[in-house]
Amino acid sequence: MSIELSIIVPIYNSEKYLHECLESICQQIKQKVEVILINDCSTDRSVKICKSFAKKFNFIKLINLAKNRGVSYCRNVGISCALGEYISFVDSDDKLLKGSISNILINIKNFYGKDLFVLRYLYLNKKEIFKNGIKKDQIFNLTPDKSIFNCIRCWNFIVKKKFLYLNNIHFKNINITEDWIFVSEIFSLAKSYKIIQKPAYIHQIFEPNTLGKKTGYIIVISRIKVICEISKFLYQNKIFLNKQKIEFLHRILKLAIEHIFLNISICTSNEIKKASKCLYKYKLMILKLSNIGFKKLNFLFSKNINRRLLEYKYKKIKYMRNMIRKFEKDNIILFCAGTYGKIASKNFTDLGAKINFIIDNNPEYSGKKINKTVAIKNPSYLKENLNKFFNHKMLICNNKIVEFNKIKLQLKKIGIKNKNILHVKI
């Protein structure tokens, strides 16, 4: 019997969520599907859980790596040994929706030969489910809230294995956002695709401090590598790409640049020096992008890169210091435990400000800490204790004005005075 779909699951110390993840996959497999589990030298009970599932289901392949190699390596191992005509990826703390595999197989049959299929997904926590923003009939609609641009994760795609081999596409050795390059390449080179309308994937966010949610130097370096790889890909394949696909890649480059400058403010001088050397190493490749209309980084090379980055860092620190002076005697509460909140918390704390706690809408974050010091609370906590925090300064850490206005409205409904709600532009 031929295998139509290979599902690759990289695993590293995932015991807390792994059983539920594998159960969501295995309970709906009947035939023509294999599951490849890549154990990346887990030190918890993950291996035991994998073995129990492999013993129970004969469609499971369990591969135990001899040393810890990272998620990119795991996925590449999975691709190399996959027998399926199509390949998909599931993170070990996520799940598949009931009936999603049969729906995927039906789409593969009805639209046979497509290079890739795009999965719609749900974001799930204990209290709320949100649908993602892919339009039913659009994939390159470049509005920020309704385009495939929001889905630069490999688990959003079912990819034809032959297509990967013919185009020599694999995951690059980057610790964070390795998906960005992989998705950029498959999406740009695919000649045909199909959006599967019914949501299939459940993306769960339980931890605020995982590798993918790091901030600072590690993010700066990973984004520089992303820029280099996409620059190389763009320059080598520009004659094959239409205007729409080039614009899509430009937007990913722009996002990577935004992340570099977002994180520079919490890097040390020595880290900035190392980041500058890394940028200079890729200077010629990045400058070649000028020939295809992308000049966002050119200003960095107009004079000393290290000086440019330091100037930017000090400008941001000055902005933060001036903000603190306005309410140095007031208590501070931050809103958002994501990247913006983490960076704001680090900067404010380093400047001597006291952060009481951080509010975040994800109930799974409640009771946990960011930067190992600042506790995370839910909006319900703020509402229940409004008398205590009535006059605290609420700093909303989100550069997007649309998101800021949404959060501001939420806080006002809780009972926070308008004058106490401030926007922090990280």
Q: Does residue 398 belong to any structural domain of this protein? A: yes
Same domain, 147 and 224: no
262 and 352 inside one domain: no
Least confident of 130-139, 205-214, 231-240: 130-139
Cα–Cα distance, 359 to 156 (Å, whole number): 29
Strand partners, 121: 201
Do 412 and 280 lie in one domain? The reply is no
Residue 139 has pLDDT above 70, yes or no: no
Prediction pTM value: 0.89
Q: Which residues contact 74 (CB under 8 A, 6 or more apart)?
A: 8, 10, 11, 12, 38, 40, 65
> Residue 86: beta bridge partners?
5, 160
Last residue of some domain: 261, 285, 311? 311
What CA–CA distance (Å, rounded) separates 272 from 383? 41
Q: Is the pLDDT of residue 146 over 90?
A: no
Domain boundary among 206, 223, 258: 206
N-terminal to C-terminal alpha carbon distance within the chain? 55
DSSP 212: G
Phi, psi of 203 (to 5 degrees): -95, 120
* Averaged pLDDT for residues 228-232: 89
Percent of the chain, pLDDT > 90?
58
With respect to residue 321, please indicate whether it lies within any of the assigned structural domains: no
Confidence at residue 130, expressed as pLDDT on a 0 to 100 scale: 43
Of 204, 199, 156, 213, the closest CA to residue 336 belongs to 213
Give residue-wise pLDDT tens across range 46-59: 999 999 999 999 99
Residues 102 and 217 placed together within one structural domain of the fold: no
Same domain, 50 and 129: yes
Query: Would you report the helix, strand and coil content of the chain in percent, each value rounded to 5?
Result: 50, 20, 35
pLDDT (0 to 100) of residue 132: 47
225 and 278 co-located in one domain: yes
Statement to judge: residues 265 and 395 lie in one domain: no
Q: How far apart are CA 296 and CA 257, in angstroms?
A: 8
Structure token pair of residue 396: 């909303």
Whether residue 133 has pLDDT greater than 70: no
Task: Specify if 319 maps to a domain.
Answer: no
353-400 pLDDT, tens per residue? Answer: 889 999 999 888 989 998 788 999 999 999 999 999 888 999 999 888
Handedness of CA 316, 254, 223, 15 (dihedral sign): positive
Task: Assess contact for 163 and 186: CB atoms under 8 A.
Answer: yes
The number of distinct structural domains making up the chain is: 3
Q: Are residues 137 and 111 in the same domain?
A: yes
Mean pLDDT of 229-235: 89
Q: At 25, which CATH number?
A: 3.90.550.10
* Predicted pLDDT of residue 382: 92
Structure confidence at residue 141 (pLDDT): 45
CATH code for the domain in which residue 372 is found: 3.40.50.720
Reference 376, options 412, 425, 415, 341; nearest CA is 341
Question: What mean pLDDT do residues 29-45 have?
Answer: 95
Shared domain for 109 and 182, answered yes or no, is yes
8 Å CB contact between 137 and 120? no
Rounded CA separation 84/32 (Å): 8
Has residue 267 been placed in a domain? yes
Residue with the two structure tokens 């190699």: 69
Q: Check residue 32 and give left, alpha or beta (phi > 0: left; psi -120 to 50: alpha).
A: left
- CB-count exposure of residue 109 (10 Å: 0-12, 13-18, 19+): exposed
Which residues does 247 contact at the CB level (< 8 Å), separation at least 6?
142
Domain end (from 185, 206, 227): 206
Task: Identify whether residues 221 and 201 lie together within a single domain.
Answer: no
C-alpha distance from residue 16 to each of 93, 94, 212, 245, 372 (Å): 8, 11, 18, 39, 21
372: left (phi over 0), alpha (psi -120 to 50) or beta: left
Categorize the per-residue pLDDT at 334 as very low, low, confident or very high, splitting at 50, 70 and 90.
very high
Paired residues of 421 in beta bridges? 394
Q: Which amino acid belongs to residue 244?
A: Q
What is the rounded average pLDDT for all residues in the chain? 88
Can you tell me the distance from the alpha carbon of 403 to that of 101, in angstroms, rounded to the nearest whole number?
34
Q: Quote the pLDDT of residue 364.
A: 86
Say what the pLDDT of residue 299 is: 75
Residue given tokens 């729409």 in the structure block: 244
Q: Whole domain around residue 272: which residue ranges?
A: 213-311
Poorest-pLDDT segment among 143-147, 251-255, 280-284, 337-341: 143-147
Burial class (CB in 10 A: 0-12, 13-18, 19+), 371: middle
- Whether residue 284 sits in one domain with residue 344: no
- pLDDT interval class at 148 (50, 70, 90): low
Instruction: Answer yes or no: is 278 within a domain.
Output: yes
Q: Are residues 45 and 186 in the same domain?
A: yes
Q: Which residues contact 355 (CB under 8 A, 6 or more apart)?
A: 332, 333, 334, 345, 348, 349, 374
Asked if the structure places residue 322 within a domain, the reply is: no
Reported as type and span, the H/E element at residue 348 is: helix 339-350
Split at pLDDT 50, 70, 90, the class of 211 is low
Q: Tell whether 317 is covered by a domain.
A: no
Question: For residues 342 and 219, is the Cβ–Cβ distance under 8 A?
Answer: no
Q: What are the residues whose beta carbons fall under 8 Å from the beta carbon of 328, sequence distance 6 or more?
A: 353
Q: Which pLDDT tens digit goes with each residue over 150-196? A: 567 899 999 999 999 999 999 998 878 888 999 999 989 999 999 89
Residue 140 lies in a domain: yes
Contact 223, 117 (CB under 8 A): no
